[in-house]
Amino acid sequence: MLILAALLPLLIMREFTPSNELRYLNIADEAIANGSFFAFTDHGVPYADKPPLYFWIAIGLKSLFGKHIMFLLSLLSVIPAFVIAWIMDRWTGDKLRPEERTAGTLMLFTSLYFLASSIVLRMDMLMCMFIVLSLYEFYRMYTNKDGEIAAKNKTRVKTARQYRINRALLPVFVFLAIFSKGAVGFLVPVISILVFLAADRNLRVTGKYLGWRFWTILLCLCIAWFTGVYIDGGSSYLHNLLFNQTVNRAVNSFHHKKPFWYYGIAYWYAIAPWCILCIVAIIKGYYKRIMHGTREKLFACTAFSTIIMLSFISSKIVIYMLPAIPFFIYLMVILLPKMNTGGWIKASVAIPALLLIIAFAASLPMNQIIAKMNESSPGSPLELPTLWAPYQIFTLILALGGIGALVFIKKKNLSGAIISIASSILIMLFAGSLSMRSLNKYVGIKEGCERAIKTANANGETVCYYDFSSGPNLDYYLKQHGMKIKEIEKSEISDVKGVVLFCKTRDIRKDSLLNKRVAALPREEGGGDISIIEIPK
């Protein structure tokens, strides 16, 4: 309940972000308008970057309710997140005390990128849910030896029936993972299973799990999908989907290209504040030889093989490692009760607790520091978003969680310390998100678009954007008023007149042409890093 309460204000009050979220809504709207549900377009340009499952659900919700509703679309991330937590708890709960199970769930939801992925409108959490479900079905098959024998002998006992169900669901869930996000939904479960079987010295039985039944079901589902794509988009769209968005992005990415070691650095903030505890517990578990169980091996193989596999792929962003996060967290959760929670383990929990206390101490003189900074540079004053209470109230909540954690550590209650830290993070998130309506101008672009529309209509001007990728997505709000947004090219910026211009604030400083044209004109904040400038006729 605490987790849901912490997320609820964000789900209800948050605006759509101008980059991916508005793009997805525009794609869904174009699919409805064009009657094309396998081959999508983004402002008329073929968009083969993502499979259709997420768009289908968005289209269904729009058809039912007549508009895109943030709360309902947010459920496409929130519900999969809770399903993942439920599956991981069910997977490990038989060996854990109630307090340890609570700590595991709270750690998962307060891991930075799992928490962020539960809020944003993306396909990643949906894909992650199906990956977790597919690996859970594999685990149930692998450990159901009686069911395997009974199924082989074609008996109708309960264990045989369960084995057959797991055997059928494994390829279905792998397909749904692909159908949610793409090739990673296939690579993560299949590579994890192969690496686990090799680590368990049982690679010879691969055919039992990834045999002809698996490939037949998977290929039939994929062929049905690709047939729909071919009918809707033709051979060029199908080629783009199968090769450009998979092979090319993997080998030599045209987007999000990063070095091999990228995830080695990203790990430390993706799983914060539990990153130190995870690594210490896993290293200690390995050297103490307590990672010999089937679950421990599978979790470790999934977590590390996913990171290594993603490191070989050219296109990299932090959220891609989301499928590894539940397995890192729950590997640590099932290892902790088996080991002596001595110095290193206690320190791994005490460090984030101390950081929360330090954050409160650092926030006390914050107002005075900002005032002095603004005195030294009055031309560009620093202004923090306005919340319903002073920032010190929110950091105090974190500090109280940190103090509580240190008390629990002293009492040798590690689960209590973890719960104290995680609870303070969730309470702070809830308290801060109550100011979401005033924060939306930093997140979304709705208010900025409404002001631009009003100004443009009053003065007979055109709404334009200059040189940023999410510019076309502003159409989502403009087309509701019968307007379209126009792109201003670099060659046009010097002479453009009679426009309301959206541009990146940082580009005003960096782009000499843009700076020369608009630096002397008044500008408004449009949301995020976007400025709105009226260039009169």
Per-residue pLDDT at 520: 82
pLDDT at 17 (0 to 100): 87
311 closest CA partner among 264, 246, 272: 264
135 versus 516: which is more confidently predicted?
A: 135
The structure tokens listed for 439 are 């924060």
What single-letter amino acid sits at 17?
T
- Indicate whether 471 pLDDT > 90: no
**What's the whole-number mean pLDDT along residues 74-95?**
95
Q: CB burial class (10 A; 0-12, 13-18, 19+) of residue 235?
A: exposed
Q: Tokens 């009679």 identify what position?
A: 498
pLDDT at 28 over 90: yes
pLDDT at 307: 96
Residue for token pair 């997805």: 24
The number of helix segments (H) and strand segments (E) in the chain equals 26, 7
Task: Please give the pLDDT value at position 481.
Answer: 77
- Per the model's pLDDT, the better-predicted residue between 445 and 114 turns out to be 114
Average pLDDT, the chain: 90
Map residue 119 onto helix, strand or coil.
coil
Q: Which residues contact 66 (CB under 8 A, 6 or more apart)?
A: none
Contact 331, 299 (CB under 8 A): yes
CA distance 370 to 383: 8
Are residues 166 and 137 in contact, defined by beta-carbon separation less than 8 angstroms?
yes
Residues 6+ apart with CB under 8 A from 134: 169, 170, 173, 174, 177, 189
Q: Which range (228-232, 419-423, 468-472) has the least confidence?
A: 468-472
Number of C-beta neighbours around residue 333 at 10 A: 28
| pLDDT, tens only, 399-440 | 999 999 999 999 999 999 999 999 999 999 999 999 998 888
Q: Could you read off the pLDDT of 186-227 as tens digits, one per residue?
A: 999 999 999 999 999 999 999 999 999 999 999 999 999 999
Residue-level pLDDT at 100? 94
Q: Looking at residues 51-59, what average pLDDT do you find? A: 95
Quick one: pLDDT at residue 377? 66
Query: Where do we find the tokens 């290193």?
Result: 344
At 462, which helix (H) or strand (E)? strand 462-466
φ/ψ of residue 183, rounded to 5: -60, -30
Terminal Cα distance for the chain, rounded: 56
Q: How many other CB atoms are found less than 10 A from the CB of residue 317? A: 13
> How far is it, in rounded angstroms, from Cα 273 to Cα 147?
41
Read off the tokens for 392.
């010190």
Would you say residue 171 has pLDDT above 70? Answer: yes
pLDDT at 151 over 80: no
Q: Which residue has the tokens 């090219």?
A: 489
* 517 in Cβ contact with 469 (< 8 Å): no
Q: What is the C-alpha to C-alpha distance for residues 370 and 340, in angstroms, rounded to an integer?
A: 46
Angle at 327 between CA 326 and CA 331, to 5 degrees: 120
pLDDT tens-digit readout, 119-140: 999 999 999 999 999 999 999 9
User: CA-CA-CA-CA torsion for 498, 504, 508, 510, nearest 10 degrees?
Assistant: -140
pLDDT at 254: 47
DSSP assignment of 308-376, as one string? HHHHHSSB--GGGGGGGHHHHHHHHHHHGGGS---HHHHHHHHHHHHHHHHHHHHHTTHHHHHHHHHHH
Q: Decide: 496 and 464 in contact? Cβ < 8 Å.
A: yes
Does the pLDDT at position 386 exceed 90?
Answer: no
* Predicted pLDDT at 371: 76
> pLDDT-derived band of residue 372, with 50, 70 and 90 as boundaries?
confident
Alpha-carbon distance values, 161 to 146, 157, 206, 216, 515 (Å): 11, 6, 21, 20, 69
259/180: higher pLDDT = 180
Torsion angle defined by CA atoms of residues 441, 446, 452 and 456, in that order, rounded to the nearest 10 degrees: -170
Give me the percent of the chain exceeding a pLDDT of 90.
59
Given a cut of 90, whether residue 273 has pLDDT beyond it is yes
pLDDT tens across 310-369, in order?
998 878 889 999 999 999 999 999 999 988 877 899 999 999 999 999 999 999 988 888
pLDDT for the residue 381:
65
- The β-bridge relationship of strands 530-535 and 499-504 is antiparallel
Backbone angles phi, psi at 18, to 5 degrees: -75, -10
Q: Which of 29-33, 71-75, 507-511 has the lowest mean pLDDT?
A: 507-511
Rounded to whole angstroms, the Cα distance separating 271 from 112 reads: 6
Residue 401 token pair: 């969680």
Report how far residue 317's alpha carbon sits from residue 50's, in angstroms, rounded to the nearest whole number. 16
Q: Which two tokens stand for residue 532?
A: 């709105």
d(CA 535, CA 517): 9
CA distance 397 to 464: 44
Of 1, 3, 29, whose CA–CA distance to 473 is shortest? 29
Distance CA 49, CA 46 (A): 9
Element (H, E) at 501: strand 499-504
Backbone angles phi and psi of 33, in degrees to 5: -65, -40
Report whether 56 contacts 37 (CB < 8 A).
yes
